[in-house]
Amino acid sequence: MLVEHFIANFASAPKELILDVDASDIPLHGEQELKQFHAYYDHHCYLPLYVFCGQSMLVCLLRASRIDGAKHAAAVLRLLVNRLRQR
């Protein structure tokens, strides 16, 4: 849905898009599902994968934290780029 809203804001396809891919921690308190300790952040957290283009969030994939920050990034980008090119 975020991607569809982003695409709808353009009258024509832009010549270039710069995508920013990043994982960031969301600290957890309580007993949420998939709650795991992440040593780098030194707390229990989720580690969602975000994709932005400028100020627009295109993807937010909620993930457990005991994974590599780049895990699933290639697959998410492949799907996203394919969708953007359909325009």
Answer for the pair 19, 51: CB distance below 8 angstroms, yes or no: yes
- For residue 57, give its domain range: 2-7+19-86
| 70 located within any domain | yes
| 14 located within any domain | no
Mean pLDDT score of the chain: 93
| 12 located within any domain | no
Residues 8-37 have pLDDT tens digits of 988 888 899 999 999 999 999 999 998 999
Average pLDDT (54-77) is 94
CA atoms within 13 A on the CB side of 16: 1
Element (H, E) at 56: strand 56-61
| 13 located within any domain | no
| 28 located within any domain | yes
- How many domains does the chain contain in total? 1
**Residue-level pLDDT at 12:** 87
Q: Rounded to two decimals, what is the model's pTM? A: 0.86
DSSP 32-71: -TT-EEETTTTEEEE--EEEEETTEEEEEE--BSSS-TTT
